[in-house]
Amino acid sequence: MRRKHSILIVEDEKNTREGLLWSLEGEKYDVAAAANAEEALELIRSREIDLIITDLRMPGMDGMKLLDIAREEYPSIEVIILTGHGTVEGAVEAIKKGAFDYLLKPVNLDELHLLVDRVLLQHDLKEENEALREELEERHGFGNIIGRAPRMQEVFQRVRQVAPTRASVLLTGESGTGKEVIAGAIHYNSPRKHKRFIKLNCGALTTTLLESELFGHEAGAFTDARKQKIGRFEMADGGTIFLDEITETAPEFQIKLLRVLQEQEFERVGGAATIRVDVRVIAATNQNIEDAVSEGRFREDLYYRLNVVKIELPPLREREEDIPLLAQAFLKEFCEANGKPPMKMSPKALAALRQYAWPGNVRQLRNVIEGLVVMTSGKEIMVRNLPEEIAPRGGASTVSRRVVQLRAGASLADMEREMIRVTLEGNNGNRAATARALGVGRKTLYRKIEEYGL
């Protein structure tokens, strides 16, 4: 249960002080009072205070000085100034220094209660936003991104180097490899972490909707534009924007995006006013962007603007040693999320996960573990609980039962290609298991697969 909000009234005039105290104290608030600023500071330093209501003019230390100290030493405390008609200018100056608002004396109690409710609601929202920001920073810290494989360690090193800079970043890799997670790590480990991290999947929108989402639009810009809309570049000012599936965008949009990267300015759709922003762009694609450039589907100049620093995320099948670590982390996450007691995975089940090819990468593994947590009744996940495509029923690999047929006069290369193809199929596409079955190293197998176009 949340504690009651605490209010401190600072007023040298006894009748006013006691009247305010009487008006506010009760079940809703925990209220204290001080006759001067010095006494108020002792109370602030000995207990938790959410709101100070202070007179502006008092003997000794005045309300303005008390405000200065509160803003410097206790920035989470909100302040309301009480002032007479002759000192309104001072109250306005106090607001410029950080006071929330002021009330004229004699105080209207209904007005006081409305303002206090508004101030404390704002206070709660600020606390919640700060807690959320801290949670996001913790979630996107390097310690929470699982990856012991050498290739992931290389990714982490590049993230550490690029995060503190202003450089644009291009993330590449197959779907589900965690590009959004790495983009978040770059933002939340950068000087921009206190500003917004805005994400958008470019491939999910038409060019018209994409421009409206990113740049905003003016009322009447098109049929359904009934009012002005602020675009995501404006929302991200001072922060970072993550543009996923960037190669899915049309050439006419790419021209406009290039201008934003070069000039840091744009116009809303249907608008004439130029809007300047300071936004870091992180883009991502699961396609071969160099091929898209050479084929004319993606602008070369935009590619070079985005590709200041390139980070390639490896597929899960090439970081096999991380599979058990990820599985255990997802197991813990989904047991807690579903209110289930801790579960474990049998060694054979973990071995089956390691042998599977994971075409959907980390995202697929996460979804599989969630399903296992929900559907497994015991405390241990066994091989029999795994989906059919991961652990085929009937036990041993079907590779040994397959027959390879070759035409007379086939070359050695043809024979090798067909053997690799059949063995891959028998191992459900698992390259590590295929390499073991064929008695070759994984790097050799990957090279052969690429060479034969498998």
Core vs surface per residue 25-35: b (16+ CB within 10 A) or e: eeeebbbbbbb
The single residue listed with the structure tokens 């006894």 is 14
ω into residue 106 within 30 of 0, thus cis? yes
Give the end of a domain, one of 280, 314, 348.
314
Give the end of a domain, one of 314, 339, 368.
314
What whole-number distance in Å separates Cα of residue 111 and Cα of residue 116? 9
The answer on 196 and 342 residing in a single domain is no
Query: What is the number of structural domains in the chain?
Result: 4
Helix (H) or strand (E) holding 186: helix 179-188
Compute the mean pLDDT over every residue in the chain, rounded to the nearest whole number.
Answer: 86
330: buried, middle or exposed (CB in 10 Å: 19+, 13-18, 0-12)? buried
pLDDT value of residue 322: 93
- Asked, for residue 391, whether it belongs to a domain, the answer is no
Q: For 22-36, 165-179, 206-220, 439-453, which range has the lowest pLDDT when averaged over its residues?
A: 439-453
pLDDT value of residue 95: 87
Q: How many CB atoms lie within 10 A of CB 315?
A: 19
pLDDT in tens, 110-121: 999 999 998 988
Which of 389, 393, 343 minimizes the C-alpha distance to 364? Answer: 389
- The confidence band for 225, taking pLDDT boundaries of 50, 70 and 90, is confident
- Asked, for residue 393, whether it belongs to a domain, the answer is no
Give the end of a domain, one of 278, 294, 314.
314
User: Is the predicted pLDDT of residue 141 greater than 60, yes or no?
Assistant: no
DSSP assignment of 194-261 equals TS-EEEEEGGGS-HHHHHHHHH-B-TTSSTT--S-B--HHHHTTTSEEEEESGGGS-HHHHHHHHHHH
- The confidence band for 451, taking pLDDT boundaries of 50, 70 and 90, is confident
State the average pLDDT over residues 9-14.
91
The answer on 332 and 288 residing in a single domain is no
Structure tokens, 157: 């090193």
- Determine the distance from the C-alpha atom of residue 74 to the mean position of all C-alpha atoms in its chain, rounded to a whole number: 29
- Asked, for residue 141, whether it belongs to a domain, the answer is no
pLDDT value of residue 258: 95
- Asked, for residue 143, whether it belongs to a domain, the answer is no
In a 13 Å sphere around the CA of 109, the CA atoms on its Cβ side amount to 10
What whole-number distance in Å separates Cα of residue 75 and Cα of residue 235? 25
The answer on 72 and 184 residing in a single domain is no
User: Is the predicted pLDDT of residue 403 greater than 60, yes or no?
Assistant: no
CATH number at residue 423: 1.10.10.60
pLDDT value of residue 389: 84
The answer on 160 and 38 residing in a single domain is no
Per DSSP, the three-state class of 56 is: coil
Strand 101-104: give its sheet, edge to edge. Answer: 29-34, 5-10, 51-55, 78-83, 101-104
Q: Do residues 208 and 217 lie in contact, with contact meaning Cβ atoms separated by under 8 Å? A: no
pLDDT in tens, 270-314: 888 899 999 999 999 999 999 999 999 999 999 999 999 999 999
What whole-number distance in Å separates Cα of residue 406 and Cα of residue 97? 84
Bridge partners (DSSP) of residue 269 are 217
The answer on 70 and 14 residing in a single domain is yes
The answer on 260 and 216 residing in a single domain is yes
The answer on 259 and 367 residing in a single domain is no
Q: pTM for the complete prediction?
A: 0.62
User: Domain of 405?
Assistant: 399-452
- Determine the distance from the C-alpha atom of residue 359 to the mean position of all C-alpha atoms in its chain, rounded to a whole number: 24
